[in-house]
Amino acid sequence: MRKKPIIGITGAYVKHNNYMEGVYVHHDYHKSVAANGGIPIILPFLNKEMSVEMFSICDGIILSGGEDVDPQFYGQDPHPHLGPTIAERDRAEIALVHYALEHDVPMLAICRGVQILNVALGGTLLQDIPSQVNEPIQHTQSIDRSHDSHWIMIEKGSQLAQIMGEERVRVNSLHHQAIDTVAPDLRIVAKSADGVTEAVEYIHPTTFTIGVQWHPESMSSTTPQMNNLFGQFIQSCMKLKS
């Protein structure tokens, strides 16, 4: 009998050339899940119905990073600095968010993932931080993704603060979009110095539901706090499985 929980990781899209294209997930996601006792599988986006059917075999889900979210899903026109979008992926992941919450499936939303979580629940996004935030810090670092680049402040008493063990933490940063108006069913639990939202939690938790704007999977092998985030997530998936 299988003892380890299956963790579905949503896939982005990469095209190497005319003969090589398809689903893509950075290997740090796989390694972080496996290191904490989970079985990682990649979920390609096909359509809403198939995405939910694939997800039904999983004990937890990670909404991974990748392309920008299409602003049609939060009622806006595209900003001039909007990056590439894939509406099919957005639709599939919005359906996964609702399925996970309706069935109490643990969910860890990372970078683009926290953005799609917010959009799925009725929130909006900053389409381009450098041109839409006054005096922004650098959110797209030029150093290796495994290195931290700026501070975040975490709300005292939040689940994230308990996991991190501190209320001021260094994180890496690889994004130019972020949460603008937070969805009614989410609460902001961390921000950077320029006021950009760095983490949210679901306000009706029956299981683990946290979204972070940075990439903990790329710091987990060297930073115990980031590995603990995966550890707590996988533990919640084990509880669901049992």
Give me the phi and psi of 64, to 5 degrees please. Answer: -90, 175
**111 tagged catalytic:** yes
3-class state of residue 42 by DSSP = strand
Selecting among 93, 198, 201, 217, the annotated active-site residue is: 217
Residue closest to 115 by CA, chosen among 230, 29, 214: 214
Annotated catalytic, 81?
no
Type of residue numbered 103: H
Distance, in Å, from the CA atom of 238 to the CA atom of 13, rounded to the nearest integer, reads 29
- b/e sequence 201-223, b meaning 16+ C-beta within 10 Å: bbeeeebbbbbbbbbbbbbbeeb
Half-sphere exposure of 66 (CA within 13 A, CB side): 28
Distance CA 198, CA 178 (A): 8
Spatial neighbors of 100 by CB under 8 A, at least 6 apart, are 55, 61, 106, 107, 209
Q: Out of 30, 58, 93, 111, pick the active-site residue.
A: 111
**Could you identify the residue written with the tokens 């600095």?**
81
Catalytic residues: 111, 215, 217
